[in-house]
Structure 1
Amino acid sequence: MTRRRRPRPRPVDRADRGADLHVHTSHSDGTLSPGEVVRSAAAVGLSAVAITDHDTLSALALALPEADRLGIELVPGIELSARDEGREVHLLGHFVDPDHPELRSAADALRASRRIRLERMIDRLADFGLIVDPEALRRAFPRAALGRKHLADYLVRTGQVPTHRLVFSRFLGDDGPAAVPKAGPTVAEAIALIRRAGGVAGLPHPPYDLSMERLRSYREAGLGALEVDGPSLDRRRSSRWRLVAEQLDLVPIAGSDFHAPDRPGRWVGSITTPAADLDRLRRLSSR
């Protein structure tokens, strides 16, 4: 069954609109500037918006004056990359201190390691006669945090490998000869870092195969919130995660995972967190 598209939100009373707690800007892989994101949130009547760029806090200082001007709450956030037994896991941090030195240092290190990893994979692909022009790759994917998927797209687009499946099966799969493991903190370390920065750690877009055992281990490490509604979740899975959040005493959060206005159903404010749950999240933070 095809999921019904969410209607584009219309300006209403801000007390009723809630908060979009998962939004990206041009400071990571989004297309809108921090100010444009805030103006978009205000235009649809949101009471609050969280900027959660990938591994960077740099948009927050630019967004805050516009949020103050428009009378909308800016929730300082980040989407932090972590690892769990070879698998990449993202963690949202809400109500973090944007000036927390340890968090800023960790975010800078993650972005630097991503660039180094990409360069190493390009070098390894060259050993197999597969040529990737770094500048052409960046032009092809100007908004992306570049990784294996983008390398595969590039190799298929340039006709060097016929299919994405073949790229991963022969070269870039987890055990492939051109793959380079990701660096970064473990999930437990990332959760602890977010908490030391005064924030609440939340798990966004939970994968369909996430086990209760693993989620409980995240909870025991200090996870405080679970994304229960987002563009990748249908109604059945959303209902399931709401029940799980209640069982584990996690704050249920929701957001659009906004990157660009041209993505149907994923504009700022299309999916929101009710005010009561935002208040729970705020109380859970130590800021």
Structure 2
Amino acid sequence: MSRRRPRPRPAPRVDRGADLHVHTTHSDGSCSPGDVVRAAATVGLSALSITDHDTLSALDVARPEADRLGIELIPGIELSASDDGREVHILGHFVDPDDPDLCEAAESLRRNRQERLDQMVARLAGCGLVVDPESLRRSYPRAALGRKHLADYLVRTGQVATHRQVFARYLGDDGPANVSKGGPTVAEAITLILNAGGVAGLPHPPYDFSLERLASYREAGLAALEVDGPGVDNRRSRRWREIADRFDLVPIAGSDFHAPDRAGRWVGAIATPADDLNRLRQRAGRS
């Protein structure tokens, strides 16, 4: 019996804004590029940005469907970066998907992901867990494999009960099987995005993120801050918007969509209003 491909669950209709943070099967999402575009059209979005981790490959696949449905497809990426040993993600919007330096950096990050995956598989074996790399790749043929895929595999094969337990026991940042990603510094990631004609933004800022650190990112060229996303309550969202105003950063928002079974994280569940999207477009010189 064939396994049905997951499809995004429709979110409540939004006021034709833009979901600027969406993942597909080309990184760690469970839905195809075409599926997320169709979901965006279903909920009435005017624009969508696929921001897969360290790859731009979904854009060519998604564009014909976006053109057919009249959805603006904003070229995007979520780059992995490092700041004093801490992993930080940087969003890029309105980037040139053919920019050679950005493509080369993305390919290098994908190679690093593969080397990291092999090391984590070996460490999991040392913890008494078995991962068949070939089986894992067959399950996610287009994805840039990482911790989420390993967690999925361990749960699916019955070796660990839940994803939460996988990360708590083995693959969390301080877990015995985790391997740090490395990659460019935050400033280098921002520069790559700027040189590709894009706008750099900080997604899902953590609770303990300092304003001093944000100021250093702003000095490096950061131009946007994700002020609303999954798990962000109204008070925190207002606080981040105030901070965005203080640092002259464009406030952006997105669902951080990965899979249709995550409540409140469907395509279009959280969107950037048209006015803020226009500000972001102006920062990219696309007005």
Q: Where in structure 1 are there 5+ consecutive unaligned residues?
A: 1-6
Contact persistence 1:254–1:271 (CA under 8 A): yes
Residue in structure 1 matching 2:12, options 9, 20, 40: 9
3-state SS of the aligned residue for 1:216? helix
CA distance in structure 2 between the partners assigned to 1:196 and 1:189 by the alignment: 10
Residues 1:137 and 1:278: Cα distance change in structure 2 (over 3 Å) = same
Cα deviation, residue 124, structure 1? 4.1
CA distance in structure 1 between the partners assigned to 2:209 and 2:216 by the alignment: 11
Aligned to 1:4: none
Contact persistence 1:152–1:167 (CA under 8 A): no
- TM-score (norm. length: structure 1): 0.84
Contact persistence 1:24–1:53 (CA under 8 A): yes
Cα deviation, residue 149, structure 1? 6.2
Aligned to 1:3: none
Cα deviation, residue 30, structure 1? 1.6
Q: Deviations over 1:53-105 (max 9, x none)?
A: 11111111122222222222111101111111111111110000011111111
CA distance in structure 2 between the partners assigned to 1:266 and 1:89 by the alignment: 21
Identity of aligned residues (%): 71
Aligned to 1:211: 210
3-state SS of the aligned residue for 2:53? coil
CA distance in structure 1 between the partners assigned to 2:76 and 2:40 by the alignment: 15
CA distance in structure 1 between the partners assigned to 2:71 and 2:118 by the alignment: 41
Aligned to 1:83: 82
1:38 maps onto 2:37 in alignment: yes
Cα deviation, residue 154, structure 1? 6.2
Aligned to 1:251: 250
Q: Where in structure 2 are there 5+ consecutive unaligned residues?
A: 1-9
CA distance in structure 2 between the partners assigned to 1:80 and 1:149 by the alignment: 16
Residues 1:131 and 1:9: Cα distance change in structure 2 (over 3 Å) = closer
Residues 1:121 and 1:193: Cα distance change in structure 2 (over 3 Å) = same
Aligned to 1:132: 131
Residues 1:35 and 1:244: Cα distance change in structure 2 (over 3 Å) = same
Q: AA paired with 1:199?
A: G
- TM-score (norm. length: structure 2): 0.84
Cα deviation, residue 262, structure 1? 2.2
1:230 maps onto 2:261 in alignment: no
Q: AA paired with 2:31?
A: L
Q: Deviations over 1:189-211 (max 9, x none)?
A: 00000000000000111111101
1:280 maps onto 2:283 in alignment: no
Q: AA paired with 2:263?
A: P
CA distance in structure 1 between the partners assigned to 2:170 and 2:52 by the alignment: 29
Q: AA paired with 1:200?
A: V
Residues 1:105 and 1:144: Cα distance change in structure 2 (over 3 Å) = closer
CA distance in structure 2 between the partners assigned to 1:143 and 1:248 by the alignment: 38
1:59 maps onto 2:58 in alignment: yes
Residues 1:260 and 1:155: Cα distance change in structure 2 (over 3 Å) = closer
Q: AA paired with 1:8?
A: A
Q: AA paired with 1:192?
A: T
